[in-house]
Structure 1
Amino acid sequence: MKQRFSSIRYSYIISHFNGVFLTLVIILAILLSVYVVVSPTWLTPEAIFLFIGLYAGIAFIVSLYVGFRSSGDMKQRMDYLSVLITQFSNGNYQSKIYFNEGDELARIGNELNELGEKLQSQVKSLRRLADEKAELAKSAHKSAVIEERQRIARDLHDAVSQQLFALTMITEASIKQLDTNPTLAKEQMIDVASAAHQAQAEMRALLLHLRPVHLSGDPLPKGIKKLVAELKQKSQINFQVDIDDTLKVADTIEEHVFRIIQESLSNILRHANATEVKIELLKRGKELFTHIADNGKGFDLSNDNTKKTSYGLKTMKERSEELGGTFTIRSNKDEGTYIDIRIPC
Structure 2
Amino acid sequence: MKKRFSSIRYSYIVSHLNGLFLTFVTILAILLSIFVLISPKWLTANSIFLFIGLYIVIAFFVSIYVGFRSSGDLKQKMDYLSVLITQYANGNYQSRIYIDEGDELNRIGRELNELGEKLQNQVKSLQRLADENAELAKSAHKSAVIEERQRIARDLHDAVSQQLFALAMMSEAAIRQVENKPALAKEQMIEVASAANQAQTEMRALLLHLRPVHLSGNPLPIGIKKLVEELQQKSQIRFQVSIEDTLKLPAVTEEHVFRIIQESLSNILRHAYATEVKIEANKKGEELFLHIADNGKGFDLLQDQEKKTSYGLKTMKERSEELGGTFTIRSNVDEGTYIDIRIPC
TM range (shorter): 0.5 to 0.7
Q: Which residue matches 2:195?
A: 195
CA distance in 1, matches of 2:221, 2:205: 21
Amino acid paired to 2:160: V
Contact 1:327 1:341 in 2 (8 A): yes
Unaligned 5+ runs, structure 1: 1-135
> How many correspondences in the alignment?
210
Q: Any idea what SS the aligned residue of 1:288 has?
A: strand
Distance (whole Å) between structure 1 residues aligned to residue 305 and residue 259 of structure 2: 23
Matches for 1:185-334 after TM superposition, within 5 Å: 185-304=185-304, 307-334=307-334
RMSD: 2.2
- Consecutive unaligned residues of structure 2, counting only runs of 5 or more, are 1-135
Q: TM-score, normalised by structure 1?
A: 0.57
| SS at structure 1 position matched to 2:242 | strand
The answer to whether the Cα contact below 8 Å between 1:149 and 1:210 also exists between their aligned partners in 2 is: no
The aligned amino acid for 2:286 is K
After superposition, residues 89-100 of structure 1 pair within 5 angstroms as: none
Deviations 1:293-321 (A, max 9, x none): 00001111122156211121111111111
Change (3 A) 1:142 1:247: farther
Cα distance change, pair 211–197 in 1 and its aligned pair in 2 (3 A): same
2:343 maps to which residue? 343
Cα displacement string for residues 255-285 of structure 1 (whole angstroms, at most 9, x for unaligned residues): 1111111111111001100000000011011
Look up the equivalent residue of 1:261 and give its one-letter code: I
Structure 1 residue 216: deviation in Å? 2.2
* Higher RCO (CA < 8 A, seq sep 6+): 1
Alignment of 1:73-222 (within 5 A): 144-145=144-145, 147-149=147-149, 151-222=151-222
Structure 1 279/233 Cα, relative in aligned 2: closer, same or farther at 3 Å? Answer: same
Tell me, what secondary structure is at the counterpart of 2:338?
A: strand
Q: Which amino acid aligns with 1:216?
A: S
TM-score with structure 2 setting the length = 0.57
Distance in structure 1 (CA, Å) of the matches to 2:283 and 2:137: 26
Range 140-149 or range 260-269, more displaced: 140-149
Q: What is the DSSP-based 3-state SS (H/G/I as helix, E as strand, rest coil) of the residue aligned with 1:313?
A: helix
Q: Give the deviation of 1:148 after TM superposition.
A: 2.5
| Offset, 1:251 | 1.2
SS at match of 1:340: strand
Q: Looking at CA atoms only, which structure, 1 or 2, has the larger radius of gyration?
A: 2
